[in-house]
C-alpha cells in the first residue's frame, strides 16, 4: 500500500522535531509553524474528513469556540463525540482514530 502525503508529513515531522517520539505528537502544534493548517490541508485530500460542521457523512474535527469536537457522522447521526480543550489534543486523537498516528 502506498504511503499518503499525510503519512509522509507526519513521519517527517515526528522524526525531525520529536526525535522519533510520536508520544509527544501534540508538541508539534507549538513547535512547527503552520502545523495545524498543514494537517487540515492534507486530511482534506484523504476524503470524508471535515473541519467545519456540515451535513456530509464522515469524520469531523470542529472548532466550537470553547474547544474542539471530534465525531463521526453518518446520515445525519453523530456518534462518538469527544470534546477537547485544544486543536492539538483533538487533532492527535483524530489522527489516531483514523490510523495515521500510532
Residue 102 lies in a domain: no
Question: How many Cα atoms are found within 13 Å in the side-chain-facing hemisphere of 49?
Answer: 17
pTM for this entry? 0.86
Specify the number of domains making up the chain. Answer: 1
Which range marks the domain in which residue 39 is found?
5-97
Q: Is the pLDDT of residue 64 over 70?
A: yes
**Residue 5 to residues 17, 29, 45, 68, Cα–Cα distance (Å):** 18, 18, 9, 24
Distance CA 19, CA 68 (A): 28
72 has pLDDT over 70: yes
Q: Indicate whether 25 belongs to any domain.
A: yes
Write out pLDDT tens, residues 43-59. 876 767 889 888 888 99
Cβ atoms of 61 and 51 closer than 8 Å: yes
CA 83 to the chain's CA centroid: 13
Q: Is residue 76 included in any domain, yes or no?
A: yes
Q: In the prediction, which pLDDT does 2 show? A: 63
Checking if the pLDDT of 1 tops 60, the result is no
Amino acid at each position: 500500500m502506498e504511503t499518503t502525503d499525510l503519512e509522509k508529513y507526519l513521519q517527517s515531522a515526528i522524526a525531525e522535531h520529536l526525535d522519533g517520539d510520536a508520544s509527544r505528537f501534540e508538541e508539534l502544534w507549538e513547535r512547527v509553524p503552520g502545523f495545524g493548517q498543514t494537517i487540515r490541508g492534507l486530511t482534506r485530500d484523504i476524503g470524508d474528513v471535515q473541519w467545519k460542521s456540515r451535513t456530509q457523512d464522515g469524520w469531523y474535527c470542529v472548532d466550537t469556540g470553547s474547544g474542539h469536537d471530534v465525531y463521526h457522522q453518518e446520515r445525519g447521526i453523530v456518534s462518538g463525540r469527544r470534546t477537547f480543550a485544544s486543536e492539538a489534543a483533538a487533532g492527535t486523537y483524530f489522527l489516531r482514530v483514523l490510523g495515521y498516528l500510532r
